[in-house]
Amino acid sequence: MIQRSPLIAGNWKMHLTIPEATALVRELRAGLQGLEAPQVLVAPPFTSLGPVKQALEGSSIMLGAQNMHWEDTGAFTGEISGQMLLEVGCSHVILGHSERRLIFKETDDMVDKKVQKAVALGLSPILCIGETLEQREAGNTYQVLREQLEGSLASCIDSRALPETLILAYEPVWAIGTGKTATPAQAQEAHQFVRTWIQEVFGEEAGARVRILYGGSVKPENIRALMAEPDIDGALVGGASLKPESFLGIIRYGD
Ligand code: PGA
């Protein structure tokens, strides 16, 4: 049986100045001392990536970015390339977050190109999918998840291979930043649907191997029950990753 290592990732979104970000890293490092912790990753805003990388020197905490463009260089004002993320020391990149999809009109086709480029460069994509409240209430959750998977992984489907470094994150939009978490049973049901879809499209091994994180109002109080579900392999944490106490509480599964 394939063992999937749990991963707790902090998505800092558009928060924290450079001094705040590096101070948070110092507190996380201190709090992780001697702790048998799951894998931990932080995804600061672009301006803090370099200083956070330095502050992480010698630590096992990994560094991710929150977005990237699919081209290497070019006239794309305001964008950043995967190569630039590698240069600053990122190993991961969050792609297709619902805020990118909904506010910045990213399409599945764009996310697909980003996933391909990230994988080609050796960056691990954390590919986000999730339904809105309206879609859930209309009974369309699985249809939406299937469409997002089919669209964002279109090139992978064509080549019939799921990249080994790809991580998925199920983030129901109605649970993001709202304090409303999906119940562990609701999250498990969606994760199981996603894993089964991966298995059907890419084979048993890929389905058993792929890590699926849950995201949406994860807190120290609810992480343990979420992690107890068989298809939940970690968490993508927004608000609660901005404070050392709450992020460390999640990393300790609520202890
Ligand atoms: P939240 O955000 O934990 O603040 O709900 C999660 C996310 O958007 O990744």
Higher-pLDDT residue of 1, 118 = 118
Q: How far is CA 80 from CA 62, 105, 112, 140, 147, in A?
A: 19, 17, 17, 34, 27
pLDDT interval class at 59 (50, 70, 90) = very high
Question: Ligand 1, closest atom to CA 239?
Answer: 4
End-to-end CA distance of the chain: 28
Average pLDDT over residues 125-149: 97
Percentage of residues in the chain having pLDDT higher than 70: 100
Contact between 136 and 178 (Cβ < 8 Å): no
The per-residue pLDDT for 98 is 97
Percentage of residues in the chain having pLDDT higher than 90: 94
> In total, how many domains does the chain have?
1
Mean pLDDT, rounded, of the chain: 97
| 127 within domain boundaries | yes
In our burial notation (b when 16+ CB lie closer than 10 A, e otherwise), range 207-225 reads: bebbbbbbbbbbbbebbeb
| 55 within domain boundaries | no
Containing structural domain, residue 161? 63-207
The per-residue pLDDT for 177 is 87
Q: CA torsion angle for 110, 112, 118, 119 (degrees, to 10)?
A: -170
Point out the least confidently predicted range of 20-24, 125-129, 176-180, 241-245: 176-180
Q: For residue 194, is pLDDT > 90?
A: yes
Q: For residue 1, is pLDDT > 90?
A: no
Return the residue whose CA atom lies nearest to atom 6 of ligand 1. 238
Q: For residue 233, is pLDDT > 90?
A: yes
- Rounded Cα gap, residues 95 and 125, in angstroms: 6
The per-residue pLDDT for 216 is 96
The per-residue pLDDT for 207 is 98
The predicted-structure confidence for 63-117, as pLDDT tens digits, reads as follows: 999 999 999 999 999 999 999 999 999 999 999 999 999 999 999 999 999 999 9
Q: For residue 199, is pLDDT > 80?
A: yes
Region of 224 please: left (phi>0), alpha (psi -120 to 50) or beta. alpha
| 4 within domain boundaries | no
Q: How far is the CA of 129 from the centre of ligand 1 (A)?
A: 13
The predicted-structure confidence for 9-26, as pLDDT tens digits, reads as follows: 999 999 999 999 999 999
| 1 within domain boundaries | no
| 18 within domain boundaries | no
Amino acid at 127: L
DSSP strand E in 159-252: where?
Answer: 167-170, 211-215, 234-237
The per-residue pLDDT for 179 is 82
The per-residue pLDDT for 231 is 98
Return the residue whose CA atom lies nearest to atom 7 of ligand 1. 238
Region of 253 please: left (phi>0), alpha (psi -120 to 50) or beta. left
The per-residue pLDDT for 142 is 98
Please identify every residue annotated as catalytic.
97, 171
Token code pair at residue 135: 């879609």
Q: How far is the CA of 18 from the centre of ligand 1 (A)?
A: 21
| 242 within domain boundaries | no
| 47 within domain boundaries | no
Contact between 82 and 92 (Cβ < 8 Å): no
- Lining ligand 1 with CB less than 6 A are 11, 171, 176-177, 215-218, 236-240
Q: How far is the CA of 178 from the centre of ligand 1 (A)?
A: 9
Token code pair at residue 176: 């993001």
- The CATH code of the domain that includes 194 is 3.20.20.70
- Rounded Cα gap, residues 164 and 166, in angstroms: 6
pLDDT interval class at 255 (50, 70, 90) = confident
| 53 within domain boundaries | no
